[in-house]
Every structure is written in structure tokens, then in C-alpha cells.
Structure 1
Amino acid sequence: MVLKTNKKAKFENKRKLVTKVDPKSPISEQYRTIRTNIQFSSVDQEIHTLMVTSSGPGEGKSTTIANLAVTFAQQGKQVLLIDADMRKPTMQYTFNVSNTVGLTTVLTGQENLNRAVRPSDVDNLYILTSGPIPPNPSELLGSKAMKAFFEKAKEEFDMVLFDTPPVLAVTDAQILSNQCDGTILVVNSEKTEIDKATKSKELLVAAKANLLGVVLNNRRIDSKNQYYYYGTK
């Protein structure tokens, strides 16, 4: 039974990382389109730090940011993907890396960034998992240590991407959003309620986030019930 479960988990992770396993697919092309839109979204300032969030759980934010990270790495950029969802981290499963050290151990001074980062099996893409779940995620994200971490990460990598908790669940995303160059909100076409998406946007804007746009996830566009990802400014 365990073997079957592990096989299923590996299959699910491969399916989520479509830009890695099937880079020529229409879905991968949509992710590259989103990447291009991000790169052209700011005339005055190049995007170096990007945050992806959603209104609620299960809307596809972690899948979206993982695939975006792969597409940036495929451009030859040195990319750091950070699991800043310290409450329900998932990045260790997606990339099959250890979570014994990560963002929390770096912020609390137990480990330095270079030793906490893990290489992935995608060229140029590095992973920083959440680390052990702390009792005070919001305080860590708003700390002086986090500001210092930002500066260090930007020195070491071309692109730094943060996966955060949903906006309506906790304040973590709002705290982090005004520190990032840009923010993307993921909505699920079959799940996200309009009023919740609107409220999420209002909270991010109130937090002075640079909201670059919305990714509409799980939109059915043909009779074969295939799903594509669609980005809009």
C-alpha cells in the first residue's frame, strides 16, 4: 500500500511540473506566456522578487509558482524558489527534497542561506523549503531578519519567487507582498468565488502590493475536457 501511495505521489508531482516533463505542451506554453507578461509588466523596475498567492487553499498557487520557476530557469536565470507557506508547506513534496532546514532555520539564524538552499533536478533552479513549522510565521515574515534575507537572496539569484499562504486565511501574504517587486493572484475558474477574489485583491492593494495580474487556473477550453492555464494582466 505504501509503495502504491509513493508511486501515486510521484505521478502527481510530475503532472504538476508540466513545464519540466512536457515543455512543448500547450500548458507549458501558457506558463511561458505568463513569464513573458511578468517580465514586461514593469517599465521602470525589473522584477527580481515575485510572490504568488491565492484567495483560499487548493486553487493552484503552488503549482503555478513551481512551473513559473521552471520557465525562468529554462531562460538561463539563476532562480530561487522559496516555500514561504510556513503553515502548510508543499515544496518538499513537489521537488522531492528534504525539509529539515529551510526558510525558518535561516531566519532564526540556525543556518545560512547557502547551506539551506537545495539544488533541484532542473538546471538553474534552487529550492528553499519552509523548514520546521514555527509558532509565529507572520512575525518571522515581518522581521528584520526577513529584510536582510531579501537583500542576500537578491544578491545571489536573478529571480526569487515566494509561495505564500492564501490571502484570506492569514496575514502572511499581505506582510510579504509589499516587500516583493510583484505579486500574482491565482484564481480557480471552478472554485474561487468572485467576492473572495475581489476581497483578496483589496487586501493586497491595501498592503501596497504591486499586483501584476491574475492567473486564471483550471479553465476548460475544449470539448476533450483538457485544462489550460491562462494569464491576464
Structure 2
Amino acid sequence: MIKRKKTDTSGRMLMMDYFKSIFSEQFRSIRANINFSIRDKGAKTLLITSASVGEGKSTIASNLGIAFAQEGKKVLLIDADLRKPTMHFTFNQFISPGITNLLLSNWSIEDVVKDSGVKGLYIITCGPIPSNPAELISHRNMDQFIVEVKKKYDLIIFDAPPLLSVADAQILSEKCDGTILVVSSGKTEKRNMMKAKEALQHSKANIVGAVLNNFKLDKNHHYYEYYVETD
């Protein structure tokens, strides 16, 4: 059984702590599938979301950021869940300054980017929680921000709120090159998964695929496996 390190205050398992484990290998497999799906499309921005809360989309986003950084890419991981941000806990950072400082107060990208502690992986935390997240995400300042970070990073990953809770992820998915839907084994209801997919299709999102999270292989294995199914 893989134990979480005490330094991970969020309680999430990060593959940088378990480099040779099957847990980490699954994320390398997901990375390979994503590379295969987007390699000819020049995609640089990925949105990670789920249908509902508690399906593990923030854990998936964080570990994918680590996986791509370990491949040698310069990766920017952004906490775009402006209602219930968690990335500052995951990487033991202060919540501010963050993306909301940049969008609301014209801070520079350099002012809000933080070193994750993983070579090649940089993060932008949420910042002060705004009163109007959906309006902030849809604002032209977000469009300009995406244009700028595409010039500076090989891959940008957005950790967005669940699709069926608020409109934020649907709005942001239209701005990103690809979207990955996280599905929790034994928890996500099929009808909610279909509603989430329809919401993404309605916003004309490019659905790269889905990651099945929290899938137990069998009773003799105590680790969780992650799979990706691509279109």
C-alpha cells in the first residue's frame, strides 16, 4: 500500500513522491495518450474538469502537470477553480498572489507565477476568491492572459470547477485547446457524465478524452489506477 507523505497537506498523492510506483506509471500512460491525441494539433492549453465535486479532478491536474514536467516540458499549472481552490494546499504555497490578482489588478505573469518544487513545473494559485468567478473567466483579460502564457510555456493546464455546479468550466473550455473529463469509478453517475459531455459539446470544447479515477484493480491491490480513454 502506498502511503501519503506527511508533507502533502492536501492529502493528495503526488507522483513526484512515488516515481517508480504503478501509481506514477499510470500517469505516464495518460501523458502518452494525451501526447498522441494532440501532437498534430499544436495544442498548448488543457482544461481538466469533472461532472461533479469530489471526483478527483484537482489531483489529476496536479499529477499531469508533474508528468509533463518530468518529460522535459515547461509546464504551467493554474488553479482556475475560483470558488473552491486547492492548489495552494497541494503544493504548500500561499493562495495569493494568484490568477485573480492578474485578472483584476493587472499584475504581471511574473508576479503571480510560483515555483512548484518540481523541475519544469510552475503554478499560479487562485489568489483572493472573487465575487464573480464566471464573469472574470469570460473577460477579455483571460483571453489576453492565455495568449501571453502560450508564448512562455510548452503546456498550460487549467484545473477548473465541476461542469454541473457552475458555468466556469464550460466558459473556459471554449478558450482552451483541449478538455479532459475526470470520471470517478463507482461514484460518477452515468447521467451526470452525459450531461457534462453535452455541456462541453454545447460550448464547442475539444474533448481530448476522459480519465477514469479511483478504479481499484482487484481486492488484492490497494493502490488506485488511472486510465484515459481518448476519442
TM-score of the superposition, structure 1-length normalised?
A: 0.93
Taking the TM superposition and a 5 Å limit, the aligned residue runs for 1:1-233 are 10-11=7-8, 13=10, 15-17=12-14, 19-42=15-38, 44-226=40-222, 227-233=224-230
How many angstroms apart in 2 are the aligned matches of 1:194 and 1:183?
19
CA contact (8 A) 1:14 1:21 kept: no
Compute the RMSD of aligned alpha carbons: 1.6
Deviation of the 1:67 alpha carbon: 0.2
- Secondary structure of the residue aligned to 1:32 is helix
- Secondary structure of the residue aligned to 1:51 is strand
Question: Which amino acid counterpart does residue 227 of structure 2 have in structure 1?
Answer: Y
Task: Figure out how many residues of one structure are paired with residues of the other and give that number.
Answer: 226
TM-score of the superposition, structure 2-length normalised?
A: 0.93
Distance verdict in 2 for CA 1:166–1:75, change over 3 Å: same
CA contact (8 A) 1:39 1:47 kept: no
Deviation of the 1:44 alpha carbon: 3.9
Question: Which amino acid counterpart does residue 26 of structure 2 have in structure 1?
Answer: Q
- Secondary structure of the residue aligned to 1:231 is strand
Deviation of the 1:8 alpha carbon: 8.6
CA contact (8 A) 1:106 1:116 kept: yes
- Secondary structure of the residue aligned to 1:38 is helix
Identity, % of aligned pairs? 49
How many angstroms apart in 2 are the aligned matches of 1:43 and 1:79?
16
Deviation sequence 1:34-92 (CA, Å, 0-9, x none): 11111111364122100000011110000001000001000111110000000000000
CA contact (8 A) 2:27 2:67 kept: yes
Question: Which amino acid counterpart does residue 16 of structure 1 have in structure 2?
Answer: M
CA contact (8 A) 2:12 2:59 kept: no
Structure 2 unaligned residues grouped into runs of 5+: none
Question: Which amino acid counterpart does residue 85 of structure 1 have in structure 2?
Answer: D
- Secondary structure of the residue aligned to 1:52 is strand
Distance verdict in 2 for CA 1:9–1:134, change over 3 Å: farther
How many angstroms apart in 2 are the aligned matches of 1:117 and 1:101?
9
Structure 1 unaligned residues grouped into runs of 5+: 1-6
Distance verdict in 2 for CA 1:40–1:149, change over 3 Å: same
